[in-house]
Amino acid sequence: MKLFTPTLLALGLLLCSPGFAQVASQDFDSIMLYTLKNSSGTTVTVTNYGAIITSIVVADRDGNMGDIALGYNSADDYMNAVDKPYFGAVVGRYGNRIAKGKFSINDVEYTLAVNNGENSLHGGIIGFDKVVWDATPVGDNALTLTYLAKDGEEGYPGNLVVSVTYTLTEENELKMHYQATTDATTPVNLTNHTYFNLKGEGEGTILGHELMLNAKKFTPVDEGLIPTGELRDVDGTPFDFTTAKAIGRDIEEENEQLTFGGGYDHNWVLDKEGKEGEMTLAARVKEPTTGRVLEVYTTEPGVQFYCGNFLDGRLKGKAGKPYVHRSGLCLETQHYPDSPNQPNFPSTLLEPGEKYDTTTVFKFSAE
């Protein structure tokens, strides 16, 4: 059994000297746990299984430290839990859904592994969240994880060399830099699937968190959560987060899109205002009782806001508390779902000789 127990986790933390951001590692066979730490005491732990962020410990407005990322204490749980909600993982080769697991490139049809009804979700049956990555510490505050996804893996064309570098800065930012190259044209859409609860993991629902999304449009879906192709105005709908509001405020409104998603589980079209491909603010979340704030910046054109509608209390977290319905929220920066089948969406195709290069930043503070 491969384990990273709280004790070993604590050992990892001990290896970090205060005052400097440091990366420390523990070896559990091939599954490792790495700790990034900065001088304000923020710590982020990452495992090379699925490039998963297993914890993010940050201060609240009174300086109390708390772990705001849902997850488990052992590698075994990540691998064998009854349900696999992609806690903290990098999802790929294609984050979110591809309709019926099919797409064509130059009139050649590809068939993917299908794992979500008739659709392919988050890279298929064994996506990037369920493989072991190679890990290399970079300097004293960063970690690069690399994976070779072979031609044909889960049905995708092309050998894809993919990497993500996590950097924890002194400004309390966790930077995620994704890069990839391929030897055959292939769709690529990488994101991180951390579930946040700014009160602390296991501390009830996220319905009181106040969310702002920098988006005037979203991509409505059908019953299978596949985009219809429309970019719809959020104005006058429960999907309007242009000014911050509690996530729970409109979530029970009668609305076909909320019914299809079982709540919010949609892609918002970020307002890039001519700054396509540049880093812009995507989202801001504040938890009023602790004052903890998360800001998300990204070079990506979209963000999937998913509010843990499929959590149902069966999974227990790091402190042994059940992850109840809507007890975590994901802000998955990305290209839009099903882009390979949607001619009007920005392309996700990576060609040989090109470099996939995107960055997303989670910035933590308290007020």
Closest approach of ligand BGC to the CB of residue 228, in Å: 15
CB of 283 to ligand BGC, least distance (A): 15
Q: Which among 74-82, 282-290, 303-311, 318-326 is the span making contact with ligand BGC, rule CB under 6 A?
A: 303-311
Contact call for residues 219 and 336 (beta carbons, < 8 A): yes
Q: Could you say which residues in the range 92-121 bind ligand BGC, by CB under 6 A? A: 96
Residue 323's contacts (CB-CB under 8 Å, 6 or more residues apart) are 70, 201, 202, 308, 311, 313, 315, 316, 317
CB-side neighbour CA atoms (13 Å) of 299: 14
Map residues 244-273 to x or -, x wherever contact with ligand BGC holds by CB under 6 A: ---------------------x--------
Contact pattern for ligand BGC over residues 217 through 246, marking x by CB under 6 A:
--------x---------------------
Of 122, 193, 209, 335, the catalytic one is 193
Binding segment toward ligand BGC, per CB under 6 A, in 51-59, 205-213, 304-312, 315-323: 304-312
Which residues make beta-bridge pairs with 45? 35, 55
Closer CB to ligand BGC, 47 or 96, in the complex:
96
- Residue 151 tokens read as 């031609």
193 in active site: yes
Task: Judge contact between 320 and 201, C-beta under 8 A.
Answer: no
Say how far apart CA 169 and CA 171 lie, in whole Å: 5
Residue 335 corresponds to which tokens in the numbers above? Answer: 């290209």
Please confirm, yes or no, whether 332 is among the known catalytic residues. Answer: yes
Element (H, E) at 174: strand 173-182
Nearer to ligand BGC, 61 or 325 (CB): 325
Question: Which one, of 337, 24, 25, 46, lies nearest residue 194 by Cα?
Answer: 46
Q: Select 166 or 336, whichever has its Cβ closest to ligand BGC.
A: 336
Q: Is 332 in the site for ligand BGC (CB under 6 A)?
A: yes
Does 310 bind ligand BGC (CB under 6 A)? Our answer is: yes
Largest distance between two CA atoms of the chain: 59
Q: Given the rule CB under 6 A, which residues bind ligand BGC? A: 85-86, 96, 225, 265, 304, 306, 310, 332
